Amino acid sequence: MKNRFKKVTKQFLTGGLFILFVFPASTNYELRSFGFGAGGGSLDSTTYSLEGILGEQSASVSSNSYNVRAGLLGVQTAHIPPAPSLTNPSSWYNKLKLIIDTGGNPSDTVFAVAISNNNWATTNWVQSDNTVGASLGIEDYQTYANWGGASGENIIGLDPNTTYWVRVKAWQGEFSESGLGPQASAATVNVSIDFDIDVSSSDTETAAPYALPFGTLSIGSVNTPSTKVWVDIDTNAQYGGYIYLSDNNSGLLSASTSYTIDGVTGNLGSLPEGFGAQSSTDIETSGGPLTAISPYNNSSENVGIIDTTIRELYSTSGNPITGGRGSFLLKAKPSNTAPASADYTDTLTIIAAGTF
């Protein structure tokens, strides 16, 4: 029995374990503890700063309205921006107003804007020039100030009568880009131009057919009917609308005598003969303004020529307009040599157009 005990003891001692704990160290630092699992910590000296999280990473938590990312990356990632503002404040057909919400990110944060016209079946990106493109370049990340700040920017080159959705993501420093935030949406409208003509001595609506009687033309005198031609224009054309004037006969034609009182530009008070138009009024509700174009914007007996050439009569000054309404007079002066006739007539053509 004594010998057997010695043998067991010897085997136990031979199989013993010796564990030596050594802490990492250098002339600059010493790391004296380790954390495993979901722990971590930070160390500092005059020459370095060490931050870390050791062990496994807990699962991310998310829903339709938020996402919580665990671990160091989740702490360093920029805040996901809230939904931006996307509006159509002026019935635009080719642009929308975007205002970004920073979501509390620092001022040096840059943002990228995703955009879709099919509810994210495909995703495009707002470019640095505010157009829409398929790719996202480094130059398309811009600061809040570059995105227009509180005033925002217009996303341009959009399709008419289309709904667009936008989402924003943030990036502040390396390895910190956030995911896309919640969406906002707005729609463009169709292109439009509305035009109407009235013929009346007062500002009132009239129906076709339109006729403006001169009555008896006095030889050697300027004849001005009290009846005016009124024109209405409304358009959302980005570069404005125009109203043009032309005629069939280049003046007042008497078919029975084959004589024409020619259209002219000038002062009928001093010219021996002529026929022309003169703007009387031009107003608008908003936009524009509606403006008579030279030589039709004169007074007294000064007129602009009416002939078969299509000539610009009114302009909305390169802007969309609402409630534009103008009126113009016709003036005629037959010379002493003009043959008397009851059939001096002309047909006017008035055209409205927009630059979209």
CA 12 from chain centre, in angstroms, equals 86
Is residue 231 domain-shared with residue 278, that is, in the same domain? yes
**DSSP assignment string, 64-120:** SS-EE--HHHHHHSPPPP---EEE-TT--SSEEEEE---TT--TT-EEEEEEESSTT
**DSSP assignment string, 290-332:** -EEPTTSS--TTEEEE-SSS-EEEEE-TTS-EEEEEEEEEEEE
- Which domain covers residue 292, as residue numbers? 193-354
23 within a domain of the structure (yes/no): no
Is residue 221 domain-shared with residue 273, that is, in the same domain? yes
Residue from 307, 83, 53 nearest 184 by CA: 83
Is residue 117 domain-shared with residue 157, that is, in the same domain? yes
296 within a domain of the structure (yes/no): yes
Residue 195 tokens, joined? 């035009």
Is residue 170 domain-shared with residue 218, that is, in the same domain? no
Is residue 227 domain-shared with residue 149, that is, in the same domain? no
83 within a domain of the structure (yes/no): yes
Is residue 199 domain-shared with residue 337, that is, in the same domain? yes
Is residue 82 domain-shared with residue 129, that is, in the same domain? yes
Is residue 210 domain-shared with residue 159, that is, in the same domain? no
Q: Is 96 exposed, middle or buried (0-12, 13-18, 19+ CB in 10 A)?
A: buried
299 within a domain of the structure (yes/no): yes
Q: How many CB atoms lie within 10 A of CB 241?
A: 29
Q: What is the CATH number of the domain that holds 339?
A: 2.60.40
Distance CA 239, CA 320 (A): 7
* C-alpha separations of 139 from 13, 33, 104, 111 in Å: 71, 45, 22, 10
Contact 331, 277 (CB under 8 A): yes
Residue 249 tokens, joined? 């006969």
Is residue 228 domain-shared with residue 337, that is, in the same domain? yes
48-68 per-position pLDDT tens digit = 555 555 444 444 455 554 555
Domain C-terminal end among 121, 153, 187: 187
Regions of the chain short of the pLDDT cut 70: 1-76, 175
Domain C-terminal end among 143, 169, 187: 187
Distance CA 131, CA 170 (A): 19
Is residue 346 domain-shared with residue 206, that is, in the same domain? yes
Residue 92 tokens, joined? 């635009």
Q: What is the CATH number of the domain that holds 145?
A: 2.60.40.10
12 within a domain of the structure (yes/no): no
Q: How many CB atoms lie within 10 A of CB 321?
A: 25
Is residue 81 domain-shared with residue 149, that is, in the same domain? yes
The pTM is what? 0.73
Is residue 206 domain-shared with residue 348, that is, in the same domain? yes
Residue from 84, 113, 92, 236 nearest 158 by CA: 92
Domain C-terminal end among 172, 187, 202: 187
Q: How many CB atoms lie within 10 A of CB 63?
A: 7
- What is the total count of domains within the chain? 2
Is the preceding omega at residue 213 within 30 degrees of 0, hence cis? no
